[in-house]
């Protein structure tokens, strides 16, 4: 039987337990500073005597949270009044259904550049409602590269172009966002939003699940150009209707209140660091360090074309696959968690999102793990 311990005692126990480096693809690690603030405010948010997760979404106390979250996001992205923001309960996959319903009339189609599993899922879901034009397919190169897309590659029939800007599973990323002028660009930026500078005006719609760079799972956000709201004329399920969610400030129903609160703290943390420009420099430093290490190693290989290598998800393989299990076991012992590749592709993946400190990447590159693996190589 586990003995009862007061909450304060448990808090002290966890406080002095060393945190590991979580390289998992998501839900990802959150900044320590954010976790500490959330812990301090957990039982009594701003003197209310309640946790944020206990506050009604109709009370001014929470309305201030969601309003501030949007204000901070707009500041980070330099978002003008010609774009609206909405928070949704559900991940990015939710929007594979919502996007065609909101942006297409019956009988219309959209273009997709197929660069991995997430574009395939968007394509398959879109076919339930409309036609889909696949203008690029990286299946033949085993999803190790991304295209250079311009208006000339468009089908001429699609009403928007759907891309996944960063592919977590295959470790690819568009080095530059495509400059599409003829139709709106719709980007799934789940695994990279807020990690590098972008010009929001290049997009018609940006959507992202929160669990990589924004906050906990169970939350997604949409940034949509105002002229794209309400254009389909279709009967849309109310919680998928972007116009309804924007009009009701994401409060049509009970939102994911605690996840939005954590997202607000993450936005504050980013601004305190110096905004996206500052975190981008750190991300570039982390990515260079780990790719240089892998490329110079006799143990590992990165299968991704150099121009398309993700700065968020570093995919690599052991040259001796017989050591895969040994690698993961030793990594866990070293406090390096979540380095296994996606179940569909295997190998390894180090996810180095905004919250992964440089010290985590340095530990990965310098720890005794690699020496131990080298000793077991055949």
Contacts 24+ apart (CB under 8 A), 322-328: 322/378, 323/373, 323/376, 323/377, 324/348, 326/372, 326/373, 326/376, 327/369, 327/373
Q: pLDDT tens-digit profile of 241-294?
A: 999 999 999 999 999 999 999 999 999 999 999 999 999 999 999 999 999 999
Residue, of 302 and 11, whose pLDDT is higher: 302
12 found inside a domain: no
| Strand bridging mode 336-337 / 21-22 | parallel
Residues 95, 240, single domain; the answer is yes
139 and 65 in a common domain? yes
Return d(Cα 205, Cα 187) in angstroms, integer: 6
| CATH code for the domain of 64 | 3.40.640.10
Domain boundary residue among 272, 301, 335?
272
Using one digit for the tens of pLDDT, what is the confidence trace for 172-224? Answer: 999 999 999 999 999 999 999 999 999 999 999 999 999 999 999 999 999 99
Which residue, 272, 306, 327, sits at the end of a domain?
272
Q: pTM to 2 decimals?
A: 0.94
Name the pLDDT band for 378 (thresholds 50, 70, 90): low
Domain count within the chain: 2
Residues 239 and 266 in one domain: yes
Same domain, yes or no, for 126 and 25?
Answer: no
Nearest to 222 by CA among 245, 201, 202: 245
Residues 243 and 116 in one domain: yes
Which structural domain range is residue 368 located in? 18-30+275-376
Give the pLDDT mean for 349-358.
98
Let me know whether 112 and 225 are in one domain: yes
Residue 4 lies inside a defined structural domain of this protein:
no
Both 193 and 295 in one domain: the answer is: no
Say whether both 125 and 209 belong to one domain: yes
Using CA atoms, how far residue 324 sits from 158, 168, 310, 315, 365, in Å, is: 43, 20, 22, 14, 17
Q: What share of the chain has pLDDT > 70, as a percent?
A: 95
372 band by pLDDT with thresholds 50, 70 and 90: confident
Average pLDDT over the chain reads 95
Say which CATH number the domain at 370 has.
Answer: 3.90.1150.10
Is 151 assigned a catalytic role?
no
| Whether residue 267 is found in the same domain as residue 285 | no
Co-location of 136 and 223 in the same domain: yes
- Assess whether pLDDT exceeds 90 at residue 153: yes
**Per-residue pLDDT for 240 more than 60?**
yes
In a domain, 9, yes or no: no
Q: How confident is the model at residue 6 (pLDDT cuts 50, 70, 90)?
A: low
Say what the pLDDT of residue 3 is.
47
Q: How confident is the model at residue 369 (pLDDT cuts 50, 70, 90)?
A: confident
Is 297 a member of any domain? yes
Selected catalytic residue, list 188, 241, 264, 311? 188
Judgement on whether residues 219 and 88 belong to the same structural domain of the protein: yes
Segment 24-49, tens digit of pLDDT: 999 999 999 999 999 999 999 999 99
Residue 36, in any domain of the structure: no
Determine which one of 111, 118, 159, 311 is catalytic. 118
Of 111, 123, 159, 212, catalytic: 212
User: Is 131 in the same domain as 154?
Assistant: yes
- Structural domain includes residue 6: no
- Residue 51's pLDDT is 96
Known active-site residue 181: no
Q: What is the pLDDT of residue 230?
A: 98
pLDDT at 371 over 90: no
288 is catalytic: no
83-141, pLDDT tens digit by residue? 999 999 999 999 999 999 999 999 999 999 999 999 999 999 999 999 999 999 999 99
Q: What is the pLDDT of residue 2?
A: 44
Band of pLDDT at residue 367, cut at 50, 70 and 90: confident
- Domain boundary residue, one of 272, 290, 312: 272
């Amino acid at each position: 039987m586990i003995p009862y311990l007061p909450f304060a005692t448990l808090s002290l126990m966890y406080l002095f337990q060393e945190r590991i480096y979580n390289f998992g693809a998501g839900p990802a690690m959150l900044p320590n500073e954010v976790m500490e603030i959330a812990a301090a405010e957990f039982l009594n948010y701003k003197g209310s005597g309640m946790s944020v997760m206990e506050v009604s979404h109709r009370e001014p106390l929470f309305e201030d949270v969601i309003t501030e979250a949007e204000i901070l996001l707009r500041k980070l992205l330099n978002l003008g009044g010609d774009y609206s923001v909405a928070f949704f309960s559900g991940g990015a996959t939710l929007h594979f259904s919502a996007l065609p319903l909101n942006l297409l009339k019956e009988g219309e189609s959209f273009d997709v550049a197929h660069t991995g599993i997430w574009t395939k899922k968007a394509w398959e879901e879109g076919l339930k409602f409309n036609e889909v034009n696949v203008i690029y397919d990286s299946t033949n190169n085993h999803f190790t590269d991304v295209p250079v897309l311009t208006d000339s590659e468009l089908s001429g029939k699609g009403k928007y172009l759907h891309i996944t800007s960063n592919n977590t599973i295959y470790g690819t990323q568009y080095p530059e966002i495509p400059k599409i002028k003829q139709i709106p660009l719709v980007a799934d930026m789940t695994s990279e939003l807020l990690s590098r500078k972008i010009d929001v005006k290049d997009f018609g719609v940006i959507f992202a699940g929160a669990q990589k760079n924004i906050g906990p799972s169970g939350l997604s956000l949409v940034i949509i150009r105002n002229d794209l709201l309400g254009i389909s004329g279709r009967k849309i399920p109310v919680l998928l209707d972007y116009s309804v969610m924007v009009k009701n400030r994401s409060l049509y129903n009970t939102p994911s209140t605690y996840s939005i609160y954590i997202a607000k703290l993450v936005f504050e943390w980013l601004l305190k660091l110096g905004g996206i420009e500052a975190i981008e420099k750190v991300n570039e430093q982390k990515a260079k360090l780990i790719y240089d290490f892998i490329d110079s190693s006799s143990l590992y290989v990165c299968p991704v074309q150099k121009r398309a290598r993700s700065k968020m998800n570093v995919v690599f393989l052991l040259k001796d696959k017989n050591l895969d299990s040994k690698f993961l076991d030793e990594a866990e012992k070293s406090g390096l968690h979540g380095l296994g590749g996606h179940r569909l592709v295997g190998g390894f993946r180090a996810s180095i999102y905004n919250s992964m400190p440089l010290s985590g990447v340095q530990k990965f590159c310098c720890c005794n793990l690699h020496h131990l693996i080298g000793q077991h190589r055949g």
